[in-house]
Amino acid sequence: MPTVNPRFSVLSEDFAADPYRHFARLREQAPVHYEPAIDSYFLSRYQDVQRTLTDHETFTTETLQVRAEPVMRGPVLAQMTGAEHTAKRKIVVRGFTGQALRDQIRAIRANAADLIAPFLPRGRVDLVTDFGRPLAVRVTLDVLGLDREDWQQVAVWHRGVAEFITSITLTHERRRHCLDCAEQLEAYLTPVIEQRRRRPGEDLISKLCTADFDGVAMSDRDVTALIINVLAAATEPADKTLALLFKHLIDHPEQMAQIREDPALLTAAIAETLRYTPPVQLVPRQAERDTVIAGSTVPAGATVFCMIGAANRDPDAFAAPDTFDIRRPDLATARSFTAAAQHLAFGTGLHQCVGAAFARTEIETVAAMLLPLLDGIRYASGFRYEETGLYTRGPDSLRVDFTPARGTPALARH
Ligand code: 2IO
- Strands in 71-136 per DSSP E: 124-126
Task: Locate the ligand 1 atom nearest the alpha carbon of residue 229 and give its number.
Answer: 1
Note the pLDDT tens digit of each residue in 138-147: 999 999 999 9
* Residue 283 near ligand 1, beta carbon < 6 Å: yes
| pTM, to two decimals | 0.95
Residue 8, pLDDT above cutoff 70: yes
Q: How many domains does the chain have?
A: 1
Residue 4 inside a domain? The answer is no
Residue 164: inside a domain: yes
If you take atom 6 of ligand 1, which residue's CA is the nearest one? 68
Best residue among 71, 80, 229, 344 to mutate for probing ligand 1, ranked by most atoms within 8 Å of CB: 229
Q: Is residue 3 part of a domain?
A: no
Domain that holds residue 268: 13-412
Ligand 1 near 227 CB (within 6 A): no
The residue whose CB lies within 8 Å of the most ligand 1 atoms, and thus the one to mutate among 280, 352, 393, is 280
CATH number at residue 24: 1.10.630.10
- Given its phi and psi angles, is residue 212 left (phi above 0), alpha (psi -120 to 50 degrees) or beta? beta
Our answer on whether the CB atom of 211 is closer than 6 Å to any ligand 1 atom is: no
Residue nearest to atom 3 of ligand 1 (CA): 233
Q: CA 74, 139, 175, 194: dihedral to nearest 10 degrees?
A: -40
246 in any annotated domain: yes
* Cα distances (angstroms) measured from residue 350 to each of 42, 60, 89, 275, 413: 21, 11, 10, 20, 40
Residues in the chain: 414
Position 7 in a domain: no
Question: Cα–Cα distance between 336 and 271 in angstroms, integer?
Answer: 6
d(CA 240, ligand 1 centre) in Å: 14
What are the pLDDT digits (tens) for 68-124? 999 999 999 999 999 999 999 999 998 888 889 999 999 999 999 999 999 999 999
Distance 168 CA to ligand 1 centre (A): 14
Domain assignment of residue 261, yes or no:
yes
Mean pLDDT estimate for the chain: 94
Mean pLDDT for 323-347 is: 96
> Is residue 81 domain-resident?
yes
**Mean pLDDT of the 177-206 span:** 96
Q: Is residue 5 part of a domain?
A: no
Check pocket membership of 165 for ligand 1, CB cut-off 6 A.
yes
Please write the tens of the pLDDT for every residue from 207-248: 999 988 778 788 999 999 999 999 999 999 999 999 999 999
Q: What pLDDT does 3 receive?
A: 47
